[in-house]
Amino acid sequence: MTYEEIVDTLNTDPFVQKLLAAPIPARLAYIGLDGTPRVVPVSYLWDGSHFVFASPPEWYKIKSIVANPAVAFSVDTTDFPPLILSVRGIATVEFDQGLPEVYVEASRRIVGEDRMPDWERAVRAENRNMALVRIKPTWIKVVDFETRYPGPN
């Protein structure tokens, strides 16, 4: 799949759209500075061309992604049959972003609208400086168990 085909699928596929709108964090996989794999949940947004999230710049995952920008993640449901979006990509990190709006908006789905005002007020009061991570997808796999099933890759 070309990058253009990947973007088109991410922007138009109804199963993907359902996953991207759901209150499900991405399970981000990266290689740690010690050479071993890690997986952590992150709140993210799809901006139409890249997956985006923000974290404090001193956090281990940011240091690791700067050292090795090849990442992977999944977004999946817990019902049966599950919907699954698997992504591989290359990350870029921008520093000194203050508190990016993407951090607030990405958190909205996970925090929930009812708790969002208090959460947002507390985060803005911290005056955080964040690193902004953009992941350009290089490969995707959509599994819906109706027309697309897990395969050999």
pLDDT in tens, 71-81: 999 999 988 88
Bridge partners (DSSP) of residue 70 are: 90
List, in order, residues 6 or more apart from 56 with CB less than 8 Å away: 62, 128, 129, 130, 131
Q: Show me where the domains of the chain are located.
A: 3-143
Task: Work out the angle between the directed axes of helices 14-21 and 3-12 (0-180°, nearest 10).
Answer: 70
Tell me the per-residue pLDDT of 113-133, one tens digit each, with 9 for 90 and over.
999 999 999 998 987 889 999
pLDDT at 150: 85
Residues 121 and 114: their CA atoms lie apart, in Å, by 13
My answer on whether omega of the bond before 14 falls inside 30° of 0, hence cis, is no
pLDDT band at 153 (very low <50, low <70, confident <90, very high): low
User: How does residue 97 score in pLDDT terms, banded at 50, 70 and 90?
Assistant: confident
pLDDT digits (tens, 9 = 90+) for 29-47: 999 999 999 999 999 999 9
Cβ 44 vs Cβ 26: under 8 Å: yes
What pLDDT is attached to residue 104? 92
**Domain 3-143 in CATH 3.60.15.10:** no
pTM of full prediction above 0.85? yes
* DSSP annotation string for 63-108: HHHHH--EEEEEEE-SSSSPPEEEEEEEEEEE----S-HHHHHHHH
